[in-house]
Structure 1
């Protein structure tokens, strides 16, 4: 099993180009199932989750190839509608293939997805929405068996109890080729939802309102292939900015989605870092110890502070001057990384959904295991700022969302290697 070995204490500085977004790539790859013809996706990140999505596409009969950050998907001959439990359990977001398969074939057999253990992530909202679209759903032996009553889903008015990203994506994917009009109220507003809709429009879909709380989709009989460029990954951007801020360094982040990262950047600026932005570049300078953030950092659906950035900013603020308070409002088990940070010398107390982070003057290297994708990234940040050597195991979690993180760290002058 591979691991990262980090020798901490080096000041980080340099320039990085932001990779394509994982959270855009996966639903867009699923959306390619709806298209007759070839889709070419540029800026597709080299991640284990992307490779897992490729295997699912090949499993149902697509021809999917991946090279030089470009995925080429031809869904002309989809001949299977069942995705094996083994493939479904490779990543959390595999459930989006349910909506895509229903949109393409009117039926599918999937299972409950796997991936990071972030506590319950129920799919009841997905199933309830699809049932409103005239899809019969039953469960048998761990499988979810779905079939559109008339062979094609029907448009419906759907009001979500919570602006779930996954449920919004599944509804959009099913509705793009459904009969009639679908209206989603209280839809997720994340930038990755807009990216998915942008791709579908390039394939001929009729979608309006993405980025707002009400999305309207008028189903088309058929979509065509297209060439599309995936948006940059705002959470990877937040990770490297937190890393360099904690290491008292300088970073030029290119290919950045500045507007989409504003909810994170506005909090980061409160730590005393100098942050300058242009159209697609972010410059950060952090020459002194960070200041604690005075206001409570509450994770919320977009445009609030992103839950995926909570762990990496917490790692940076564990070295800040003063006390910062986090409130996690999206996932029940998103503080699992705190035990590792405490082992490295951080002063963090978790009280339900609140984490109180009292900044310390230094951290020390330790042997820790990545608990999940963003928690693992937080451990890397702590290790790079710590005195001595850190060993991080279970880095398969980190590889789900970061392209060769050790190479990026070395480009910035850090001492981190994979063994």
Structure 2
């Protein structure tokens, strides 16, 4: 299963370049199934989840391969198996996006109910509701969502209102609508930068999507999508993780290859804590050498504070003087990291979806276990601030979303190794 061993007490110093966005990459890989031509994607992070999506493509009858650093090539022919391999699909949540892509292009899909991090209930009801409104007939059978377009095997445009601005449902409906007949409107949709990146990618293939980044997306379905070459956006969560790591270790780090506007929620909260944050054109400088104060954090859909950064900011707040509070409004199991932080001496109480944190002067080293991707990152941050040597078990969770993690942290001065 692997573990990462980190020696605490060293401030991070230097610069780090951020990789392509995991959540954008996985969505674009799914969208590539809709193209009749060759797709070249650049700035793709070399992480476990991306390799799983490439393996899914290959096993279903397509071509998927790395053609250089950060670059992948996909070709999906007109005839493939429209059933995702269960053993691969259950490894990551984003495999559910193949539902919209397959039904849109091929008229049929059998998509295994997805896996990924166990961070709470993430039902597929909004996905199914959206595709059903476009004429899909879907059912859950034997661990798969099965079904497709009725009649002409082509979906039709519809007006769809999402009860919650679900990122996954917004993406799946966008994929399904791109090749549907007529116009689709998605109201109360997600606004995340990865949604905008997906829309831009589909448009580069010949799609017609407007309004991505707002709460109303308009999609005019087209007859076919063509091949393209496209570079994805930087990973705002990876960037935020290094920003918090710099602050927690009292370091000074320049985080490069970022879009600062994507990180305003994190930047604002770090400044409130007392961290000096300077935004540049495509970089952010973080100076954590000052005095910190307790704050309250509430996770919200973008542009609010991201749930994917909640565990990391909790690790920081465990050593901030005073009483801080975190309210998790998105995923109920995102507070599972608390048990592991308590092993390191953190003073945290849980009341429902709220964590009450009394800062301590310093954490102590311990053997801890990553329960999910972001919890793993949080425990590494905690380990870098702690006295002694901390072992973070189940490091495979971290490998799912962070490219060259040990290499980047070591370059910043962290004492970290894999065992």
Report TM bin, short chain: over 0.9
User: Alpha-carbon deviation of 1:106?
Assistant: 0.8
Q: Secondary structure at the match of 2:397?
A: helix
Q: Secondary structure at the match of 1:102?
A: helix
* CA deviation string 1:290-327 (max 9, x = no partner): 3222xx31101111110000110110111112111110
Distance 1:87 1:414 in 2: 34
Q: 2:158 touches 2:184 (CA, 8 Å); kept in 1?
A: yes
Distance 1:237 1:317 in 2: 18
User: Alpha-carbon deviation of 1:93?
Assistant: 1.6
Match of 1:317 in 2: 317
Q: Secondary structure at the match of 1:87?
A: helix
* CA deviation string 1:109-153 (max 9, x = no partner): 112111111121110111111111100112222221111002011
Q: 1:38 touches 1:76 (CA, 8 Å); kept in 2?
A: no
User: Alpha-carbon deviation of 1:288?
Assistant: 3.4
Match of 2:161 in 1: 159
Match of 1:412 in 2: 412
Distance 1:146 1:281, change over 3 A: same
User: Alpha-carbon deviation of 1:273?
Assistant: 1.2
Match of 2:215 in 1: 213
Q: Does 1:382 align with 2:398?
A: no
Match of 1:188 in 2: 190
User: Alpha-carbon deviation of 1:6?
Assistant: 0.8
Q: 1:201 touches 1:207 (CA, 8 Å); kept in 2?
A: yes
Distance 2:346 2:132 in 1: 47
Distance 2:311 2:80 in 1: 42
Match of 1:57 in 2: 57
Match of 2:234 in 1: 232
Among 245, 265, 268, the alignment partner of 1:266 is 268
Q: 1:274 touches 1:285 (CA, 8 Å); kept in 2?
A: yes
Distance 2:404 2:293 in 1: 30
Distance 2:224 2:123 in 1: 31
Q: After TM superposition, list the pairs within 5 Å mapping 1:338-353 onto structure 2.
A: 338-353=338-353
Q: 2:366 touches 2:391 (CA, 8 Å); kept in 1?
A: yes
User: Alpha-carbon deviation of 1:61?
Assistant: 1.8
Distance 2:316 2:291 in 1: 10
Q: 1:246 touches 1:290 (CA, 8 Å); kept in 2?
A: no
Distance 1:11 1:86 in 2: 41
Shifted more, 165-174 versus 139-148: the winner is 139-148
* CA deviation string 1:67-96 (max 9, x = no partner): 311111112344210112112101012101
Q: Secondary structure at the match of 2:104?
A: helix
Divergent runs of 4+, >4 A: none
Distance 1:30 1:78, change over 3 A: farther
Match of 2:179 in 1: 177
Q: Does 1:124 align with 2:98?
A: no
Match of 1:201 in 2: 203
Match of 1:35 in 2: 35
Q: Secondary structure at the match of 1:36?
A: coil
Q: 1:9 touches 1:387 (CA, 8 Å); kept in 2?
A: yes
TM-score norm. by structure 1 comes to 0.98
Distance 1:358 1:65 in 2: 48
> Which structure 1 residue ranges, 5 or more long, are not aligned?
none
Match of 2:328 in 1: 328
Distance 1:168 1:70 in 2: 26
Q: Secondary structure at the match of 2:410?
A: helix
Q: Secondary structure at the match of 1:290?
A: coil
Distance 2:83 2:89 in 1: 10
Q: 1:248 touches 1:289 (CA, 8 Å); kept in 2?
A: no
Q: Root-mean-square deviation (CA), in Å?
A: 0.9
Distance 2:10 2:79 in 1: 51
Distance 2:255 2:299 in 1: 24
Distance 2:79 2:233 in 1: 27
Match of 2:23 in 1: 23
Q: Secondary structure at the match of 1:304?
A: coil
Q: How many residues in Structure 1 have an aligned counterpart in Structure 2?
A: 417
Q: 1:317 touches 1:359 (CA, 8 Å); kept in 2?
A: yes
Match of 1:300 in 2: 300
Match of 1:364 in 2: 364
Q: Does 1:398 align with 2:398?
A: yes
> Which structure 2 residue ranges, 5 or more long, are not aligned?
none
Distance 2:79 2:94 in 1: 21
Distance 2:8 2:136 in 1: 54
Match of 2:11 in 1: 11
* CA deviation string 1:40-81 (max 9, x = no partner): 111100111101111111122221111311111112344210
